[in-house]
Structure 1
């Protein structure tokens, strides 16, 4: 998977940028009347217009127009400081993952991080940095969505993962715990609430995070 990094000055004339196909393309950028960022470029020799528009505090749409065809990518924004305020079914998930009894009881003794675990998230496009503090283990991960297999830390051990955006803009991370495949879905429910669903087999655990002032 190709990682695209773009640096440009809006209104600064013609630039060269990397495309998702790995080649260099010319582009110009301007601000639309509604504040959206408009980029005029090309893909495979065809003219393309890209409109990046923030729909709400939580969601950004990137519209790509080629002729009369429009594709829209939706990204949720998880930036902020989030405290885990509720947890569902974690002990069952850890048991399904064959986590040793003593580790499960250690986690249960501190409520698996409820009202303790705080995640500080910094998001810049597809680059997401998550700092975890107050839980069983403190660690920081940096993930680039769409960049293929990466190495990340977890509350149990170091794991490999891949990340992608779902159609609804939520963040999907495919990883593993204790050698078993795990799917994590981070979804912003509203301005103040994010759910992180962790699925292994038919067992689902949900962490509820509340945005801190």
Structure 2
């Protein structure tokens, strides 16, 4: 799991608008979300034993979102929008997987290859991709 630990800078996104629509992000919030996702987003992953902390942050502290959990144990999570869900971290074939169950079920599979981390985000039949590099 050490390969996931550290600070990552987002370098590219694909199909995020369709993903946001599939998760019922209101039209009025999609533009703001796309701006956040495209503007210097960072992700910091900390792992201690089976405890996982993922911090996503943009250009301001108000854009920060922290997800914490223990591998294999569901926890309650609330998004910036106020939407609540159950959050579960797991390891699958060397990938760090984040599953949320609430109004929608989503799945984020984090894959690392060298200094590149790829997120495959799936909601229903829509998949988006986010790519990160270690600075």
Give the TM-score, by structure 2 length. Answer: 0.85
Structure 1 position 101, deviation (Å): 0.7
Counterpart in the other structure of 1:86: 12
Superimposed CA distance per residue, residues 141-164 of structure 1 (whole angstroms, 9 cap, x where no aligned partner): 222112x21123445434211221
Counterpart in the other structure of 1:126: 50
- Return the alpha-carbon distance in structure 2 between the equivalents of residues 153 and 210 of structure 1: 27
Corresponding pairs, count: 132
Q: Which residues of 2 match residues 48-197 of structure 1 at below 5 A?
A: 75=1, 77-108=3-34, 110=35, 112-134=36-58, 137-146=63-72, 148-154=73-79, 156=81, 157-166=83-92, 168-176=93-101, 179-188=103-112, 190-197=113-120
Q: Cα RMSD over matched residues?
A: 2.0
Counterpart in the other structure of 1:33: none
- Return the alpha-carbon distance in structure 2 between the equivalents of residues 197 and 152 of structure 1: 20
Bigger relative contact order, structure 1 or 2, given CA contacts below 8 A and separation 6+? Answer: 2
Counterpart in the other structure of 1:64: none
- Return the alpha-carbon distance in structure 2 between the equivalents of residues 83 and 94 of structure 1: 21
Superimposed CA distance per residue, residues 29-77 of structure 1 (whole angstroms, 9 cap, x where no aligned partner): xxxxxxxxxxxxxxxxxxxxxxxxxxxxxxxxxxxxxxxxxxxxxx463
Say which SS state the counterpart of residue 4 (structure 2) adopts. coil
Give the conservation status (yes or no) of the 8 Å contact 1:85–1:115: no
Give the TM-score, by structure 1 length. Answer: 0.56
The runs of at least 4 consecutive aligned structure 1 residues that moved more than 6 Å come to none
Runs (5+) with no aligned partner, structure 1: 1-74
Q: Which residues of 2 match residues 32-43 of structure 1 at below 5 A?
A: none
Runs (5+) with no aligned partner, structure 2: none
Give the conservation status (yes or no) of the 8 Å contact 1:81–1:121: yes
Structure 1 position 93, deviation (Å): 0.7
